[in-house]
Homo-oligomer: A and B are copies of this chain.
Amino acid sequence: MTGIKDVAERAGLSVATVSRALSGKGNVSPTSRERARAAAAELGFVLSYHASSLASGRTHNVGLVVPSVHRWFFSAVIEGASAALLEAGYDLTLYNIGENPTHRHSVFNDFLLRKRVDAVIAVSLELSEEEIQQLHAVHRPIVGIGGPLPGASTIRIDDTAIALKATNHLLGLGHTKIAHITGHEAYDQDFHLPGTRRSGFQKAMNDAGCPVRPEWIVSADFTIEGAYAAARQLLASAPERPTAVFAASDEMAIGTILAARDFGLRIPDDLSVMGIDGHDLGNVMGLTTIDQDAKGQGALAVRTLLGAINNGLILEPADTEHPTKLVVRTSTAVPKTSAS
């Protein structure tokens, strides 16, 4: 196995100089740099990153912790982060903790403490004080995506404001009988996302003087399948149907549209539907939504982290609000009843 020693020999330089030349750091004359590079290329030499890491303390690797890889938001964040890391020459270690609480525990109490990552990005996970402490104890900066994290830097969207904006879009079209598909209680642990969006909905309704009917607030698990089932129930109560549904995520909005079709309801004539996310299927489904640029959030998290790492700065706990955009498509319209 060729090592840096072989490269040094071939280039007629010392190991130290080759190391400096290859890493790009330190002062090396252009001549030596070129010779080192050439020798490395000829030998097909690639640095061993363990050895580098051990000696330098820098791993060139970022840990990304997600609750799932299937839900659209998470894969979009992964995509954004992975591209940004690849460009920077960093590895991405993925921890998909899923539903299993044991997995979460071992990730935070073992995997992440193995000092294999320079930093961690936690997506939609409300870390406990302890989890954050442990990471800080091994000097691993953290960026959270999806909500505030005590003592860590976070990137998030203003969930209440967004829900307000979405609901107002519907109200603005003339809807008053609006239902809401929220997330299950269980998902409220992490940043109270369902609750926050729900309260934005309620505030908008109250402000507009529209009654919020409890039976028109149903919950699902943030998936298309889950919302499909929930929406079927919601729409089954025939005469007393809402004229619009605001779902807490695009996937749930899509589930709602599918359910509506089963009932022969035309979108948007019989039912307006909107979501939050900016899902790829939005175009196909003609879904009105609030685009939160998940990919961009992943990329931003990486940039934030790398900036801190490269400047050797401590990452200041800061709360960055990511911009969102209302995208109006064909799933929302003036209610037929009030139009006619």
Interface of A with B (CB < 8 Å)? 1, 44, 46-51, 53-54, 59, 61, 69-70, 75-76, 78-79, 82-83, 86, 89, 91-96, 98, 100, 103, 106-107, 110-111, 113-116, 134, 137-138, 223-225, 228, 255, 258, 261, 280-281, 283-285
Contacts and interface: CB of A to CB of B under 8 A. Distances in A.
A283 B228 CA distance: 11
Contact of A280 (B46, B70, B94, B134): B70
Nearest to A48: B115
| Residue among A47, A70, A86 facing the most chain B CB atoms (10 A cut-off) | A86
B114 A49 contact: yes
Contacts of A70: 75-76, 79, 280
A46 B106 CA distance: 12
A69 B75 contact: yes
Given A258-B284, A261-B261, A280-B70, A96 B79 contact: yes
A78 B50 contact: no
23 contacts: A1-B138, A46-B115, A48-B54, A49-B114, A49-B116, A50-B59, A54-B54, A69-B69, A69-B75, A69-B78, A70-B79, A78-B94, A82-B94, A86-B95, A86-B106, A91-B93, A91-B114, A93-B94, A94-B94, A225-B280, A255-B284, A258-B285, A261-B261
A285 B257 CA distance: 12
Contacts of A48: 54, 114-115
A82 B98 CA distance: 10
A106 B61 CA distance: 15
A59 B96 CA distance: 19
A82 B59 contact: no
B110 A98 contact: no
A82 B65 CA distance: 12
A129 to B, nearest CB: 15
Nearest to A228: B284
Nearest to A1: B138
Contacts of A93: 61, 91-94
Residue of A50, A75, A138 contacting most chain B CB atoms (<10 Å): A50
Which of A79, A107, A116 has the largest number of chain B CB atoms within 10 A? Answer: A116
Nearest to A106: B86
A258 to B, nearest CB: 6
Contacts of A98: 79, 83
Contact of A86 (B107, B261, B284): B107
A92 B94 contact: yes
Contact of A54 (B1, B50, B89, B258): B50
Contacts of A86: 95-96, 103, 106-107, 111
Contacts of A280: 70, 223, 225
For the complex of A and B, 10 pairs with smallest distance between CB atoms: A46-B113, A49-B114, A82-B96, A50-B53, A94-B94, A50-B54, A69-B75, A48-B115, A50-B50, A228-B284
